[in-house]
């Protein structure tokens, strides 16, 4: 089993749609979790951290389920500019040394 696994994608959705991505991780002792966004041929950028209580940033909601070892990202009211690859990232050691990166889920929002 891979350390971090994501929905295979790609997701093609119309503008205004709600889309959800899931990510599972294998190390139950993992400490912190993140969603990064990577545009085509660009570097990754932090989208949001994922907290145990769940957190929301505008149209984006991230949730963590430690018991089932998965995190999710929900995007409401999709915009064309949301088209990107979304990377699930797990810090198994809590010291930000070797983040484990998922392969990413590609999202295309269509007009």
43 is a site residue for other proteins (CB under 8 A): yes
User: What distance in Å separates the CA atoms of residue 39 and residue 59, rounded to the nearest whole number?
Assistant: 18
Measure CA 13 to chain center: 17
Given candidates 82, 102, 107, 109, which one binds other proteins under the rule CB under 8 A? 102
Size of the site for other proteins (CB under 8 A): 18
| Site stretch for other proteins (CB under 8 A), options 7-15, 63-71, 74-82, 97-105 | 97-105
Of 59, 66, 79, 98, the residue at the interface with other proteins (CB under 8 A) is: 98
User: Would you tell me how many other CB atoms lie within 10 Å of the CB of residue 28?
Assistant: 9
CB 28 within 8 A of CB 46: no
Which position among 12, 45, 52, 77 is part of the footprint of other proteins (CB under 8 A)?
A: 45
Measured from the CB atom, the residue of 33 and 61 that comes closer to other proteins is 33
List of residues contacting other proteins (CB under 8 A): 32, 34, 42-46, 49, 87, 95-99, 101-104
């Amino acid at each position: 089993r891979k350390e971090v696994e994501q929905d295979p994608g790609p997701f093609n959705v119309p503008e205004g749609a709600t889309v959800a991505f899931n990510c599972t991780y294998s190390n139950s002792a993992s400490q912190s979790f993140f969603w990064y966004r990577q545009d085509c041929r660009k570097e990754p950028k932090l989208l949001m951290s994922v907290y145990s209580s769940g957190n929301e940033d505008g149209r984006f909601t991230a949730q963590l389920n430690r018991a089932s070892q998965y995190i999710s990202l929900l995007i409401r009211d999709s915009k064309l500019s949301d088209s990107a690859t979304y990377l699930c990232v797990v810090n198994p050691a809590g010291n930000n040394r070797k983040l484990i990166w998922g392969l990413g889920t590609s999202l295309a929002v269509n007009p």
